[in-house]
């Protein structure tokens, strides 16, 4: 079996996986610059311990921290306490040694030694006495050391490095499964438990020989999961493993890794490392200094990122996320579509199966304007949302009805939807086009009635036809000649292919055709929402990433984004400012996504929206009031006067008031001015409802 039942390649017009955009490389590629493992072998990577105590935690080697910060004693107080305990210990030993406290502390020595030793100075009695003295001194050192907190002082002064020279370090992987043990993932215990010992031995040998990478392991494990669901695939699976080893169940492209990795990934946990949580008071103590990662569990609630140009949204967020999901697509776990302007650094062509360059005559693939729909009403709804969904005063439902009154008759007459020039002629009421369509509909009374209804409504008050015609005209340009073909001459890509582990990149002509690019972006978002919800097999995680979602959102697409988490799908939307979204949609958009990210440099107006979305929390405040001390006694007044003369400050007392108050987690001013460059404030929500408070994160970026 070369696939696990979800990797078959068929015609793109039927909604299946197109061939790769670049020639496949069936062999194992060189190891990327960012290795997916911390150890030298795949087995070490698999055995490394993983732990999580909240959404967004990089589980690889994570050590959970305490929920609350322990009380930190000032160093001066530790030193004074240690000196006092040392002096007290020496004083007690001196009193014991000189007999001021009696001889009760020598009773154990007399009790466990012969009586004759008490009256002579034999070597045995001397050694017994010294041993007992050492025991007593050790007890005193331990007792007074704990009382004076000597170990804490040693860690504070000498540092953890000096302390490790005294105490043996715990191995980093001591919490993981033992190599060669029954739980060792590198030995494929799940296959052995099912009686497939030969297949497990073959895969173990492949991993041990360096012929298997992390993508191979994740892909074959995914294939085995499909076998458990459908046991009829067992024979094909075992044959594929026996014949091809680590190359079994390969992706349709034949690729077993990406040509280059710009971020660090953990395919066992399906995570990509995004950065490190700042070790500061603005972050919860349990998350300070921990690594932060994104995975389908949080991306399934969708993510909105806002930041001005130059803050690294593409390099530090979009590219790593797209790369992670591309690796998961090679492992048969996800389908990803990345949308950006031509030239955006979303990954090389060889990292994708399909690259659609709209407006580029050299593009191998075309874009299906109707999203693979066969129902005229569905196709009309998608087109109306993208064409006039952002136009104030236009009823999208009425526009969808107007389009359906043309698309239905045209499909009934020609068994296809109209091309862009044909649709423009129909909307512009070109007599020749309407007469030809009427002739070809002879005998189809229902469709003729639809066409007549459209003709009667043209020119009436509130008719959306002119607005639709103007928008279609944006695509009926010489630069797009040959694109959006419906006659079967091109190779259109349809988002109906989301049921397969496909990697897609769509390049929009933002530089020369900004309005058309925004309209196509709206179309892709509407088609993605519809295709993700219509999938019959939702085992794959479907994801759509926009490098720039400006002027892309409409009321209906925002509602569609909110419904994606139940369809095992999500979107990534990046904006330079919330001003790129209509005023009425800014609050619904922040409520529709589960993950929100504010980069450094956002305006206070954008910060206010994020502050409202993140809400408030109860914090403890300490108000200190300084009061001048007025002495009544002459001596005390003299001392106070001398102290003021020396220090320049009057003698005061401090009154401390502790209160619980409700404050914003991040204020608009803090978001605008207190986030350093290369950082962002990020809140996460998992599909299970777990939440992570807004965290100040130092972004790792890409190499």
Structural domain boundaries of the chain? 75-164, 376-482
CA distance 576 to 398: 32
Tell how far CA 13 is from the center of its chain. Answer: 32
Residue 555 φ then ψ, to 5°: -55, -40
**Residue 54's beta-bridge partner residues?**
none
CA distance 649 to 640: 10
**pTM for the complete prediction?**
0.81
Low-confidence ranges of the chain (pLDDT < 50): 1-40, 160-173, 702-703
Element (H, E) at 287: none
Half-sphere exposure of 32 (CA within 13 A, CB side): 21
Other Cβ atoms within 10 Å of 627 Cβ, number: 9
CA distance 234 to 241: 11
**Interior CA angle at 330 toward 324 and 335, to 5°?**
70
Query: 628: closest CA among 658, 648, 654?
Result: 654
Half-sphere exposure of 610 (CA within 13 A, CB side): 33
CA distance 29 to 255: 9
Element (H, E) at 4: none
Give the per-residue pLDDT at 424: 95
Give the per-residue pLDDT at 60: 92
Element (H, E) at 232: none
User: For residue range 244-274, what is the model confidence (pLDDT) as tens digits?
Assistant: 999 999 999 999 999 999 999 999 999 999 9
**DSSP classification of residue 701:** -
The tokens for 650 are 């009057």
CA distance 144 to 93: 11
Residue located via tokens 């074959």: 220
The answer to whether 451 touches 409, Cβ cutoff 8 Å, is yes
Give the per-residue pLDDT at 657: 82
**Interior CA angle at 220 toward 216 and 223, to 5°?**
145
Cα(first)–Cα(last) distance of the chain, in Å?
37
Other Cβ atoms within 10 Å of 429 Cβ, number: 15
Other Cβ atoms within 10 Å of 395 Cβ, number: 14
CA distance 389 to 470: 13
**Interior CA angle at 176 toward 171 and 182, to 5°?**
130
Give the 3-state secondary structure percentages of the chain, helix then strand then coil, rounded to 5. 45, 15, 40
Query: 222: closest CA among 255, 270, 163?
Result: 270
Residue 364 φ then ψ, to 5°: -70, -35
The tokens for 177 are 């499964």
User: For residue range 328-384, what is the model confidence (pLDDT) as tens digits?
Assistant: 999 999 999 999 998 888 999 999 999 999 999 999 999 999 999 999 999 999 999
**Residue 335's beta-bridge partner residues?**
542
The answer to whether 82 touches 89, Cβ cutoff 8 Å, is no
Give the per-residue pLDDT at 27: 41
Give the per-residue pLDDT at 355: 96
């Amino acid at each position: 079996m070369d696939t696990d039942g979800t990797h078959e390649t068929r015609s793109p017009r039927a909604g299946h996986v197109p061939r790769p955009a670049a020639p496949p490389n069936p062999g194992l590629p060189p190891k990327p610059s960012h290795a997916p493992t911390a150890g030298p072998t795949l087995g070490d990577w698999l055995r490394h311990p993983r732990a999580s105590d909240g959404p967004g935690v990089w589980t690889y080697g994570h050590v959970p921290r305490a929920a609350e910060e322990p009380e930190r004693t000032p160093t001066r107080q530790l030193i004074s306490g240690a000196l006092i305990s040392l002096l007290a210990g020496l004083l007690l030993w001196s009193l014991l040694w000189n007999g001021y406290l009696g001889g009760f502390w020598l009773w154990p020595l007399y009790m466990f030694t012969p009586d004759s030793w008490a009256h002579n100075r034999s070597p045995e009695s001397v050694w017994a006495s010294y041993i007992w003295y050492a025991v007593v001194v050790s007890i005193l050192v331990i007792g007074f050391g704990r009382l004076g907190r000597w170990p804490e002082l040693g860690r504070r002064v000498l540092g953890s490095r000096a302390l490790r020279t005294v105490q043996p370090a715990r191995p980093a992987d001591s919490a993981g499964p033992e190599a060669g043990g029954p739980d060792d993932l590198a030995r494929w215990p799940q296959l052995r438990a099912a009686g497939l010992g030969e297949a497990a031995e073959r895969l173990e040998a492949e991993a041990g020989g360096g012929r298997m990478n992390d993508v191979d392991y994740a892909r074959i494990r995914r294939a085995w999961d499909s076998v458990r669901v459908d046991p009829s695939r067992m024979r094909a699976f075992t044959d594929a493993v026996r014949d091809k080893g680590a190359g079994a169940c390969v992706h349709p492209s034949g690729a077993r890794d990406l040509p280059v990795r710009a971020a660090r990934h953990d395919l066992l946990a399906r995570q990509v490392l995004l950065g490190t949580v700042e070790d500061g008071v603005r972050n919860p103590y349990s998350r300070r200094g921990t690594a932060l990662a994104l995975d389908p569990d949080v991306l399934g609630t969708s993510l909105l990122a806002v930041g001005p140009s130059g803050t690294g949204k593409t390099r530090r967020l979009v590219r790593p996320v797209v790369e992670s999901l591309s690796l998961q697509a090679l492992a048969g776990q996800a389908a990803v579509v990345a949308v950006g302007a031509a030239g955006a650094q979303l990954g090389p062509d060889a990292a994708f199966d399909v690259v659609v360059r709209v407006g580029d005559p050299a593009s191998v693939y075309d874009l299906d304007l109707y999203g693979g729909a066969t129902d005229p009403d569905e196709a009309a709804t998608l087109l109306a949302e993208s064409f006039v969904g952002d136009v104030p005063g236009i009823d999208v439902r009425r526009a969808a009805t107007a389009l359906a009154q043309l698309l239905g008759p045209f499909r009934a007459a020609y068994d296809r939807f109209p091309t862009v020039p044909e649709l423009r002629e129909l909307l512009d009421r070109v007599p020749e086009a309407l007469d030809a369509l009427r002739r070809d509909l002879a005998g189809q009374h229902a469709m003729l009635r639809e066409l007549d209804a459209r003709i009667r409504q043209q020119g009436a008050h509130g008719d959306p036809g002119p607005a639709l015609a103007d928008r279609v005209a944006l695509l009926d340009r010489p630069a797009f000649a040959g694109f959006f073909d419906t006659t079967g001459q091109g190779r259109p890509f349809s988002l109906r292919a989301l049921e397969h582990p496909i990697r897609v990149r769509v390049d929009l002509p933002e530089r020369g055709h900004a309005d058309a690019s925004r309209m196509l972006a709206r179309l892709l978002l509407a088609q993605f929402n519809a295709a993700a919800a219509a999938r019959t097999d939702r085992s794959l995680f479907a994801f759509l990433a926009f490098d720039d979602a400006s002027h892309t959102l409409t009321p209906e697409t925002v509602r569609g984004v909110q419904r994606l988490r139940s369809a095992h799908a999500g979107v990534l939307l990046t904006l330079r400012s919330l001003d790129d979204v209509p005023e009425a949609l800014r609050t619904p958009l922040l409520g529709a996504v589960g993950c929100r990210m504010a980069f450094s440099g956002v305006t206070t107006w954008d910060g206010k929206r994020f502050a409202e979305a993140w809400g408030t929390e109860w914090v403890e405040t300490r108000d200190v009031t300084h009061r001048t001390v007025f002495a009544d006694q002459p001596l005390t007044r003299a001392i106070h006067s001398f102290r003021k003369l020396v220090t320049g400050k009057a003698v005061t007392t401090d009154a401390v008031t502790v209160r619980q108050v409700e404050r914003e987690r991040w204020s608009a001013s803090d978001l605008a001015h207190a986030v350093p460059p290369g950082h962002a404030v990020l809140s996460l929500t998992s599909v299970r409802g777990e939440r992570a408070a807004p965290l100040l994160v130092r972004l790792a970026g890409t190499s």
